[in-house]
Structure 1
Amino acid sequence: MKFTYAAAPHHIIFGQGAVRQTAAEAARLGGQRPFLVSTAGQMPKAAALLFEIDFAGRFEGAAMHTPVDVSAHALARLESVGGDLIVSFGGGSATGLGKALAVRTGLPLIAIGTTYGGSEMTALLGETSDGVKATRRDPRALPAAAIYDVDLTLSLSPATSAASGINAIAHAVEASYASDGNPIVSAIAVDAIAALAGSLRRVVADPRDVAARSEALRGACEAGLCLNGVSMGLHHKLCHMLGGAFDLPHAETHAIVLAHAMAYNAPAVQPAYAAIGAALGGDAVQILDRLARDIAPMTSLAALGMPEEGIDRAVELVMSKPYPNPVPLDEARIRGLIRRAWAGEAPAAV
């Protein structure tokens, strides 16, 4: 057996009350004039929890898919106040904006996660311009500290919890059979999938279940680590393309596409799916498809707002950019996958 595994310099603070360590982390990183980024909806909560920090400035315009024009406005604000450290508070939108600023300035980022997206664990930055989302890996995008406070997830709605959690499962699924994968990441991926699949139904049934929330957040943290450690394939490329082209919500898109992409790749990744199935107690594709249909708020791309005439555009975008995937991309099969996901039909094998 031969493989290469390069561990990223993660610094993770996990647990109830972890957000209270933000000021100490800012001091550890030498931040004298921290700059806070979030969404308009999350900023009041962020300001209340981080009241002891004297922020040089704030920006509450974080948006889905990290539009470059939003990043430009935030950068101008950051530079005008002389910020020397970035703190993001929220889900993928806030973390994405924090990363965009970190890449543009070289400043350290403290990412406080409030969902199960796992972006806090990666050096990946996806940005959207003119309806096209491009993702790149940049070491400056890796947060200098990731803070996971279980208490911050207790107010997540069941719908958001479900979509965000299945999004995290998708990270781990693709990591389990990545072209540049290794047994270390694969083992973490299976553990992450089991933790999330085993806790999300409990979270949706009782959003205040701290034990279930803790297990889900741990799984999401592990899934994010997997996402950072290896390359992604069809599922992630497809979801990023759909999100950028049709402005679809990130987590919900992942939840809908996951089982379809898994079915497409199944013929070439049976050992990985067998390991996942063993951890879940059955067929991996069927169990995860059923989980998504039982708990996710939407089960079709049409319900998210993607027009039927957009299917042709989606196929064109997917086929225009080759990337590593266990099963070669076939235009007719990709069209069938997208159409089934658009209609909310059951996934079909290649």
Structure 2
Amino acid sequence: MSLRFSHRSLSQQVLFGSGQAAEHLAAEVARLGAQRVMVIASPRERRLAERVCARIDVTVWHDGVAEHVPVHVAERGRAVAAERAADLLVSVGGGSTTGLAKAVALTTGLPIVAVPTTYAGSEATNVWGMTEDATKTTGVDDRVLPGTVIYDAELTLSLPVPLSVASGLNGLAHCVDSMWAPRADPINRALAAEGIRALATGLPRVITDPAGLPGREHALYGAYLAAVAFASAGSGLHHKICHVLGGTFDLPHAETHATVLPYVLAYNAPFAPGAAARIAQALGRPADPDEPRAAAEAAVAGLSELRARLGAPTALRDYGLAAEDIPDAVARVLRAAPPSNPRPVSEENLTALLTAAWSGATPSVDPDIPAAPLVPATEAR
């Protein structure tokens, strides 16, 4: 069969170097000719942000950051930008901080320079998200894509190990979802596989040497690749589930993604053996895509082994989801689930998936799935 696909790459500059954030930011502000810089950073990140911004003039500091970007938080950020006539947004922080900068840029058109301090990956996508009335809405708009991303692993040294793990696994979830998302293609699958390898290399090093830079540099590199793959491939079932859990039930973003990931992988992998084999290979478990069950089991085993080494989050009930919330979550996910998901999604199987993730049951491939299910002919190996 001939190779045919459509792929889009986003235009963005990436500056990567430990200890160089302040230098890189000053150069970018000068290059852009910005005169009135609005810096967005949470109170917890303020001292770090001051270090990063030491060589530039800041017109206004804004710390009204909240997880899942409630609409009223976005509106306040937009008002501050207008009041102070900002001509450049600089976000210093994790996904919530980047998300607020995106929400401001969505309506103002202001450019963004993003300086991530976690492995969230939002800085490398043109995806925005906001929450209102217990519903998280997401969209795609090139206005929210940061024009420049400044990666400096030194800025992640203060990120506690448990949050580093959850944030890194959130990045890995971008990779896994990109393997079968609506716009998955050979290029974003290749990026995702390399992202998995980098994260699986870096995160264990963060555990054993939290103050060392090599592990954190690998994790940042992997998180960037994960986000680029995700921006190209689109949002798959995993992200639809986590957007519901975060937006409706106010579950913490990174921990939710880290917890749900192995269950979605176990659910989808047998129906996408080419993707499963790529994931398994990236996790150090070579597998044959012509053996769907074996490839799926290898991918799940590889991820489970990595999660055990990292001491990853295991149960949604630990983060505030109640058992009685599951039916509402299932109904909401059913409305959002991508039709292109490799395995059909139903109320019954989504309930089983979320119940397992709620309780922390061991993720495993469903034994009732045939050893060689039908696979869409378009799946790339």
User: TM bucket by the smaller chain?
Assistant: over 0.9
Structure 1 counterpart of 2:258:
255
Structure 2 CA distance for partners of 1:116 and 1:4, relative to 1, 3 Å: same
Distance 1:127 1:3, change over 3 A: same
User: By how many angstroms is 1:30 displaced?
Assistant: 2.6
Q: Is the 8 A contact 2:48 2:155 kept in 1?
A: no
In structure 2, the partner of 1:13 is: 15
Q: Name the residue aligned to 2:241.
A: 238
2:365 matched to which residue of 1?
A: 349
CA distance, structure 2, for counterparts of residue 149 and residue 181 of structure 1:
29
- Cα pair 1:56 1:82 within 8 Å, conserved: no
Letter in 2 for 1:110: V
- State TM-score, norm by structure 2: 0.89
Q: Within 2, Cα distance between the matches of 1:331 and 1:18?
A: 50
In the alignment, the residues of structure 1 paired with residue 33 and residue 54 of structure 2 have an alpha-carbon distance, to the nearest angstrom, of 19
Where 2:92 maps in the other structure, the secondary structure is strand
Match of 2:293 in 1: none
> Which one of 296, 310, 315 corresponds to residue 295 of structure 1?
310
Aligned position for 2:5: 3
**1:61, CA displacement in angstroms?**
1.4
Shift of 1:273: 1.0
Shift in Å, 1:322: 4.1
1:40-71: CA deviation from partner (whole Å, max 9, x where unpaired): 11122202331222111111011111111111
Return closer, same or farther for 1:112/1:178 CA change in 2, 3 Å cut-off. Answer: same
Secondary structure of 1:134's counterpart equals strand
Aligned residue number for residue 351 of structure 2: 335
For structure 1, the residue ranges without an aligned partner over 5 or more in a row are none
Question: Within 5 A, what are the aligned runs for 1:281-292?
Answer: 281-282=284-285, 283-292=298-307
Sort the Cα spacing of 1:4 and 1:142 in 2 relative to 1 into closer, same or farther, 3 A: same
CA distance in 2, matches of 1:164, 1:268: 27
Alignment partner of 2:78 out of 75, 79, 87? 75
Contact kept, 8 Å, 1:255 with 1:296, in 2: the verdict is no
* RMSD, aligned CA: 1.3
Identical aligned residues as a percent: 42
Deviations 1:180-230 (A, max 9, x none): 222111111111101101221111121112111111111111111111111
* Within-5 A mapping of 1:203-214: 203-214=206-217
Aligned counterpart for 2:123 among listed residues 117, 120, 124: 120
Aligned to 2:69: 66
Q: Aligned runs of 1:128-147 on 2, under 5 Å? A: 128-147=131-150
d(CA) in 1 for partners of 2:250, 2:333 = 16
Q: Name the SS of the counterpart of 2:43 in structure 1.
A: coil
Bigger mean CA offset, 226-235 vs 159-168: 226-235
Residue 346 of structure 1 and its aligned partner are, at CA, apart by 1.2
Is the partner of 2:6 in helix, strand or coil?
A: coil
Task: Give the distance between the partners of 2:131 and 2:20, measured in 1 at CA.
Answer: 32
| Contact 1:256/1:292 (<8 A) preserved | no
Q: Distance in 1 between matches of 2:261 and 2:14?
A: 27
* 2:190 alignment partner in structure 1: 187
Q: What is the CA deviation profile of residues 122-171 of structure 1, one whole-angstrom value per residue up to 9, with x for unaligned ones?
A: 00001111111111100001001011001111221110110000000010
Pick which of 14-23 and 338-347 moved more: 14-23
User: What per-residue deviation string (whole Å, max 9, x for no partner) do you get for residues 4-37 of structure 1?
Assistant: 1121101100111231211211222231101011
Distance 2:128 2:145 in 1: 9
Worse-matched range after superposition: 79-88 or 208-217: 208-217
Equivalent residue letter for 1:174: D
- Scaled by the length of structure 1, the TM-score of the pair is 0.97
- 1:35 aligns to what SS in structure 2? strand
Q: Which moved more, 1:281-290 or 1:194-203?
A: 281-290
The one-letter code matched in structure 2 to 1:16 is: S
- Aligned with 1:317 (options 323, 326, 332): 332
Q: How many Å separate the matches in 2 of 1:293 and 1:277? A: 16
> 2:109, 2:143 within 8 Å by CA — same for their partners in 1?
yes
Deviation at 1:112, TM superposition (A): 0.4
Distance 2:52 2:142 in 1: 29
In structure 2, what is the Cα distance between the partners aligned to 1:204 and 1:67?
Answer: 33
